[in-house]
Structure 1
């Protein structure tokens, strides 16, 4: 097993409702997403799941982080990889330094153990994006990136990957080819059916295994109150 950086974590994670309010209806919905992913394939084990969106501000990054947390809480050794090399957020979410990460591992052949970060959450490690490179798509489509994902998959029960929006750049489309499954996140308050269809077409063109769509900010009714499926985010 890898030796990981135990000193990069500064304080508690931000915006992780599954950690802050584990009994809330929203946290239960994230656990339902985890269960749906687990049972989405009968013949093939799903170990690497990519989260993306059609456009920015859909909440994909916070969704990916919370789903990763549910896997860790269930006892699965989980690594959350920030593969958004254009507008990364995981180092902010987990209050980590970002001088090194995915981009430095690819460019400099840095050992995997040098970019893995332990969190205070049991079973959950994080790989931040590292410095933003001038050529994200080229890095993510490289053989080194494919090797990194295979390495993570060998040493973890679950690999969650956060990527940029599909309609903005090709990064998510590139990675969806090698991930076991892809989840598309959309904010229903700004939902555009045509854009979702375009995003779906791009994933199909890449021969991605589309596991489903998460509808953010969808109002749900209960006997006692109304709540939102997802508490919202202003990140990409």
Structure 2
């Protein structure tokens, strides 16, 4: 992952990261409030050795003392030292229970022993520290070697008496909260990165670019009312979503496919990616700009164009291909522009054979001579081969990719199926793009707020006022050629 990928992950997962950070802070604060405060008290003992006073004896004594200090500090947590403490203070515990509360340290190159006691009772902590230092002094005098007079050669002196502490050493609320925040942030970032790594769905243009070098020619924002108003360019031509289809139309005009013709097959990897509504709105947008357009429903398995465009779909493309009807008989003029709709007709038993037939090739050749744009709504690529067969005969295929729904593997397989038959991929249209957050379809960056052009505005208004079906079926092509 690159730096921008991590930034995108943080932007997409900021809510999760923030929630986990707050959970970490709350957990740390709760722990600090629940935990009983612990107090610490320390006493200090000085270790010395009795010598004759000569320089050599002093040096030897000092070395001997430093060697003994470590031994004495380890002796502090033993029962021989702690049992007298328990007895003198009348503590209700054993030496094994008291030992974890007592810590002895000996700073390097010194003859000092610090005895620290931690307890929930500050007074008891100080008493145990003082009693332990005294007990250690007594024990060392008893067990160490003595001189000829029976006096111990090592002497321990308490140089610091433990005082009753006023503030607890634990819990440290600021430190705990800071650690909780860091743990929450680390956990949130880790989960966000892991989720992004395991997420194999296409969400942005970058995901598409990693699969194919063909351009993304459009992005259509998600609309939760799309099923209620599929033809948004006609119903609400001034909406940002309608403008996105006009942007798609403009981008399509600048595609250089090297064929001179403008025959496009709109398809997708799997079903329900918005291809049918996209191609229908694109056709209306092209019509409003004055282009001669024919919209053909080539989905001979689950046709939808007739339903969306509100035309009679009982006869259509299949009737033309088998010679049972002419194009003039079954095509429907639509609106008041130069647009014609050709429904699929009856569902045949052999859709792939019909779409790959010589009759289909001849029909495409005829339509390319009479229309500026020939648009096919084809079935998805992965379930059936219809779209790949048809795309090979057209100028190019446009793949609709549903953001957050289409899997990268599905898109890669769809691209491969087109490349395997030698079809040209004209580009991709990302549908259902989020309107907020990372990867959102940003209308503002295209300057939509400046208003529409006069031509488009008038054409769009005319399309709204126009009836969905006008004229007779006969003479459709003659009307489109005007």
If the TM-score is normalised by the length of the shorter chain, which range does it land in? 0.7 to 0.9
Distance 1:121 1:217 in 2: 29
SS in structure 2 opposite 1:165? coil
Residue of structure 1 equivalent to 2:281: 66
Q: Does 1:51 align with 2:266?
A: yes
In 2, are the aligned partners of 1:182 and 1:210 still within 8 Å (CA)?
Answer: yes
Q: What does residue range 133-172 of structure 1 map to in structure 2 within 5 Å?
A: 133-172=348-387
Moved more, 105-114 or 26-35: 105-114
Residue of structure 2 equivalent to 1:16: 231
Residue of structure 1 equivalent to 2:343: 128
Distance 2:350 2:242 in 1: 36
In 2, are the aligned partners of 1:117 and 1:127 still within 8 Å (CA)?
Answer: yes
Moved more, 19-28 or 106-115: 106-115
Residue of structure 1 equivalent to 2:402: 187
SS in structure 1 opposite 2:429? strand
- Which consecutive segments of 4 or more residues in structure 1 shift more than 4 A? none
Give 1:223 shift: 5.8
In 1, are the aligned partners of 2:257 and 2:426 still within 8 Å (CA)?
Answer: no
Distance 1:48 1:30 in 2: 18
**Residues 22 and 72 from structure 1, CA distance in 2 versus in 1: closer, same or farther, beyond 3 angstroms?**
same
Q: What does residue range 100-111 of structure 1 map to in structure 2 within 5 Å?
A: 100-111=315-326
Distance 2:360 2:257 in 1: 27
Q: Which has the higher contact order (CA 8 A, sep 6+)?
A: 1
Give 1:222 shift: 5.2
Distance 1:221 1:25 in 2: 10
Give 1:42 shift: 6.5
Give 1:120 shift: 2.3
1:140-190 per-residue CA deviation (whole Å, 9 max, x = no partner) reads: 110011111111111111111000000010100001111111100011121
In 2, are the aligned partners of 1:76 and 1:158 still within 8 Å (CA)?
Answer: yes
1:56-88 per-residue CA deviation (whole Å, 9 max, x = no partner) reads: 000100000011111101100100000000000
How many residue pairs get aligned? The number is: 212
Q: Return the index of the structure with the highest Cα Rg.
A: 2
As a proportion of its length, which structure holds more helix? Answer: 2
In 1, are the aligned partners of 2:257 and 2:395 still within 8 Å (CA)?
Answer: no
Q: Does 1:29 align with 2:282?
A: no
Q: Does 1:116 align with 2:331?
A: yes
In 1, are the aligned partners of 2:280 and 2:295 still within 8 Å (CA)?
Answer: yes
Moved more, 214-223 or 138-147: 214-223
Q: Does 1:176 align with 2:391?
A: yes
**Residues 223 and 134 from structure 1, CA distance in 2 versus in 1: closer, same or farther, beyond 3 angstroms?**
closer
In 2, are the aligned partners of 1:51 and 1:64 still within 8 Å (CA)?
Answer: yes
Residue of structure 2 equivalent to 1:3: none
**Residues 158 and 223 from structure 1, CA distance in 2 versus in 1: closer, same or farther, beyond 3 angstroms?**
closer
Distance 2:394 2:443 in 1: 36
**Residues 201 and 134 from structure 1, CA distance in 2 versus in 1: closer, same or farther, beyond 3 angstroms?**
same
Give 1:44 shift: 3.4
SS in structure 1 opposite 2:404? helix
TM-score by length of 2: 0.43
Residue of structure 2 equivalent to 1:84: 299
In 2, are the aligned partners of 1:30 and 1:66 still within 8 Å (CA)?
Answer: yes
**Residues 66 and 121 from structure 1, CA distance in 2 versus in 1: closer, same or farther, beyond 3 angstroms?**
farther
**Residues 142 and 30 from structure 1, CA distance in 2 versus in 1: closer, same or farther, beyond 3 angstroms?**
same
**Residues 222 and 30 from structure 1, CA distance in 2 versus in 1: closer, same or farther, beyond 3 angstroms?**
closer
Distance 2:232 2:429 in 1: 16
**Residues 46 and 32 from structure 1, CA distance in 2 versus in 1: closer, same or farther, beyond 3 angstroms?**
farther
Q: Which runs of 5+ in 2 are unaligned?
A: 1-227, 435-440, 446-482
Distance 1:39 1:223 in 2: 22
Moved more, 87-96 or 103-112: 103-112
RMSD: 1.8
In 1, are the aligned partners of 2:267 and 2:379 still within 8 Å (CA)?
Answer: yes
TM-score by length of 1: 0.85
